[in-house]
Structure 1
Amino acid sequence: MAKMLMYAAGERPVAEPIAGSRSVARAVAFIEASFAQPVSLAMLAATAGLSVSRFATLFRQEVGISPHRYVCLVRVRHAQALLRNGVPPSVVATEVGFFDQSHLGRHFRRTVGVTPGDYVARPSLVSC
């Protein structure tokens, strides 16, 4: 169902199921539902019912990456879908919660390995 993305060493694919505590599961569900809005660590910790420091530690232990990085990966995953559907990168950036196209480009390149423009221009990448 979900498409697999390329990730930096030590990161888990977003599509991989996350087994762990209910607290982290609630935060992950919140991220998946609210990725396009500003998502703060304090918001996520409150959703999980934990202190900020405890939440950040538990999230990293269970998911393998920081909450911020996970939010960025979810945004990039959704950006890929929009780009595949022909939405321009400048529109995609704001639709998925990045500040601007440059912000999208930085995170997209770090995650996927190419810029959003190259991703659309190379059909072999889009069909992954």
Structure 2
Amino acid sequence: MQRTQLNNVRDALNGSKATQLDYCVLNQDLSLAHWSNQRDRVSYHKVGHHTVSLYLTGGNDTHRLDMPSAGKGSPGKLCLMPATQDSEWVVGEGQEFVHFYVSDAALKFFALESFDIDPRLVRLPDLTFADHPELARLCHSVMNVPWHAVSERLHLQQAFYGVMGCLIQAFVRHQPVTEALRGGLSRRQLTSVMEYIHAHAGEEIHLEKLATVSGLSLFHFARMFKQSTGLTPHQYVSKIRVRKGMEMLQKGYGQAYVAAACGFSHQSHFAAQFKREYGVTPARLIRELC
């Protein structure tokens, strides 16, 4: 058997006997891959991103060398491989599976914005051959649409966010807080800063003003904001502006107007940030919406 150990799940599989049947980058933080593999051995080592895996066919002889008690796979089984988690697999006869790759920063931002969960509390468990009907349904839904049709990109992103929401609700939201959070902004400080950013997303936002809102010095604010959110203030503001831009484009506003209304100095800057977040340019999205 060929042994592969790289620091990225997709790279590891591409270096093994696995065949990539399809691959789709939704944005810089989210991507999907459809794989087949058989009679192989693959290791993942501190990959730096989270992976959700759904077995579509086969998998009955596949097992983990580092966790023999986990049993074997089968269609409909789920695996959750958290970032930095090591695992070693023996792949049996032919199987197909779909992978969802999400960066740690994106998952934490999603937990904060969608569930008001402190990103420092977002920790996913290592799951192997688990049963979760709702999560399996959400994962399988992406197999029913063409991945490279621009008209389906929003559908794929919504499905991916559904998967992320299910992860948060099932494995993060109700976890007990077993340790005191150290560093970072207080809940009151973070809420105040987030409310200010949302209210002034279309204006020029200065770091000094955000620090003032939080009641901290400029130096301490920038460091503590990143501790609390996983993002720099600039990265967070950009994400909020692009999200607002998407909402305005879907309502029929023109690209130039949206760029200005969302605080971007140039339309080209908005387009670049938008493509980084959504995987398509605003112009292409507008054509699909018309």
Query: Common fold, TM-score beyond 0.5?
Result: yes
Q: Which is higher, the Rg of structure 1 or of structure 2?
A: 2
Q: Is it true that 1:72 corresponds to 2:170 in the alignment?
A: no
**1:65 shift after superposition:** 0.5
Identity %: 33
Alignment of 1:27-66 (within 5 A): 27-66=193-232
The answer to which of 15-24 and 81-90 deviates more is: 15-24
CA contact (8 A) 1:18 1:63 kept: no
How far off its partner does 1:119 sit?
Answer: 2.0
**1:7 & 1:85 partners in 2: Cα distance?**
25
Aligned-partner Cα distance in 1 for 2:205–2:239: 13
Q: Which amino acid aligns with 1:95?
A: A
2:179 maps to none
- Quote the Cα distance in structure 2 between the aligned partners of 1:18 and 1:108: 25
In the alignment, the residues of structure 2 paired with residue 18 and residue 49 of structure 1 have an alpha-carbon distance, to the nearest angstrom, of 22
Shift, 1:38, TM fit: 0.5
Q: Which moved more, 1:8-17 or 1:22-31?
A: 8-17
Greater RCO structure (CA 8 Å; 6+ sep)? 1
Number of aligned residue pairs: give it.
119
Q: Match for residue 122 of structure 1?
A: 288
Measure, in 1, the Cα distance between the counterparts of 2:201 and 2:208. Answer: 15
TM-score (norm. length: structure 1): 0.84
The answer for the alignment partner of 2:278 in structure 1 is: 112
Structure 2 gap ranges (5+): 1-25, 30-102, 119-184
Whole-angstrom CA distance in 2 between matches of 1:51 and 1:18: 25
The residue matched to 1:122 in structure 2 has which SS? helix
Matched, 1:15 2:105: no
Question: 1:18-68: per-residue Cα shift (whole Å, max 9, x none)?
Answer: 436121221111001111110011110011000111111111111111111
- Please name the residue that 1:126 is paired with: none
CA pair 18-48 structure 1, distance change in 2 beyond 3 A = farther
Q: What residue identity is the alignment partner of 2:113? A: A
- Shift in Å at residue 110 of structure 1? 1.1
- Deviation of the 1:113 alpha carbon: 1.2
Q: 2:190–2:214: 8 Å Cα contact kept in structure 1?
A: yes
- Bigger proportion of residues as strand: 2
**Residue of 82, 89, 112 corresponding to 2:248:** 82
Q: Is the 8 A contact 2:259 2:270 kept in 1?
A: yes
Report the Cα offset of residue 117 of structure 1: 1.2
Query: Structure 1 residues 33, 7: closer, same or farther in 2, change over 3 A?
Result: farther
